């Protein structure tokens, strides 16, 4: 993991956060 460039790791984190936000909004919508 240490040999992965910082910008690549940041892009991966942004992608994971976007998926989590989408999942969270979907689960909230289903719960209502």
User: According to the model, what pLDDT value does residue 11 have?
Assistant: 87
How many contiguous H segments (helices) and E segments (strands) does the chain have? 1, 0
In whole angstroms, give the CA distance from residue 15 to residue 22.
Answer: 11
Could you report the per-residue pLDDT of 1-32, keeping only the tens digit for each? 568 788 777 888 899 999 999 999 988 887 76
User: According to the model, what pLDDT value does residue 16 have?
Assistant: 93
CA atoms within 13 A on the CB side of 31: 6
């Amino acid at each position: 993991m240490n040999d992965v460039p910082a910008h690549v790791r940041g892009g991966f984190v942004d992608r994971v956060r976007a998926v989590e936000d989408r999942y969270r909004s979907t689960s909230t919508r289903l719960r209502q």
